[in-house]
Amino acid sequence: MRVRAALLGAALVLGASACQQPANAAEEVVSAPAAKRVAKEGSGLKTAVFSGGCFWGVEGVFSHVKGVKSAVSGYHGGTSRQANYKLVSSGITDHAEAVKVTYDPSVIRYDQLLRIFFSVVTDPTQLNRQGPDVGAHYRNALVPQSAEQAAVAKSYLAQLKRARLWNAPIVTRIEPAKSFYPAETYHQDFMIKNPRHGYIVRWDAPKVAALKRMYPGVYSASFQRN
């Protein structure tokens, strides 16, 4: 109880915590297969949006991927008036905590980002929750920003369902792209700014460690700040 109280106090000092307090263990990682449908996005920087629970961890993992130029925590969907942490975390809005990733497809492709997402970032079998975080705003979703991304995402989800890597059905959805609203400043680059935060230590640092261990070729030791 003392540890939990201390963690809660730390979150309050930061303002408001986007994520719930840590439970007993970090999430398991899965060795997702390489995508059979390779993304062909041409040249120039591209963006992709991922919703997979607390945006601190999603942002933290992608910020350690070579070719990623930025990973911005924010709220996808809903309205601009309600796009703030207090309202989103209350569960009364239609937003999802999400991360907008800007990347160079000549270095890291969209299908490779999908593989990373399902391997070390999220558990695609959890409906309207992720780990200790519960609510539709923590839903698991892919938000394609182009027809090519949509085709790749659909193909990869079908491939994962056939692979049966998880003991429960995959509930990840493909959602149409709507407005994306960057989250409050204190949420941005949260992992690198708060490496000793209880939630980061228990839930998100292990994801980055898994990225380094499983995909050393795309892992970047430096954190790409926004």
For 13-65, the pLDDT digits (tens) are 333 445 765 444 457 899 999 999 999 999 999 999 999 999 999 999 999 99
Give per-residue pLDDT as tens, 208-219: 999 999 999 999
Candidate CATH numbers 3.30.1060.10, 3.40.50.720, 3.90.1150.200, 3.40.718.10; the one for domain 2-214: 3.30.1060.10
Task: Dig out the tokens for 204 from the structure.
Answer: 């998100």
Q: How far, in Å, CA of 192 to CA of 31, rounded?
A: 26
- pLDDT of res. 26: 57
Cα dihedral 77/79/84/88 (nearest 10): -60
Residue from 77, 138, 142 nearest 114 by CA: 142
The DSSP bridge partners found for residue 75 are: 97, 181
Cβ contacts of residue 41 below 8 Å, gap of 6+? Answer: 105, 109, 110, 146, 148, 149
pLDDT at 176 exceeding the cut of 50: yes
- pLDDT of res. 4: 34
- pLDDT of res. 22: 47
Q: What is the mean pLDDT of the chain?
A: 90
The domain limits of the chain are 2-214
- pLDDT of res. 226: 87
Cα dihedral 11/12/14/19 (nearest 10): 40
- pLDDT of res. 8: 32
SS3 189: coil
Q: At what angle do helices 205-214 and 55-62 cross, to 10 degrees?
A: 30
Q: What mean pLDDT comes out for the span 178-195?
A: 97
Q: Among 2-16, 109-123, 189-203, which stretch is predicted with the lowest mean pLDDT?
A: 2-16
- pLDDT of res. 27: 74
- pLDDT of res. 2: 35
pLDDT at 94 exceeding the cut of 70: yes
**pLDDT confidence band for 125 (50 / 70 / 90):** very high
pLDDT at 163 exceeding the cut of 80: yes
Residue with tokens 């992720």: 130
Catalytic residues, by residue number, are 54
**pLDDT confidence band for 205 (50 / 70 / 90):** very high
- pLDDT of res. 191: 98
Q: What mean pLDDT comes out for the span 199-222?
A: 97
- pLDDT of res. 10: 35
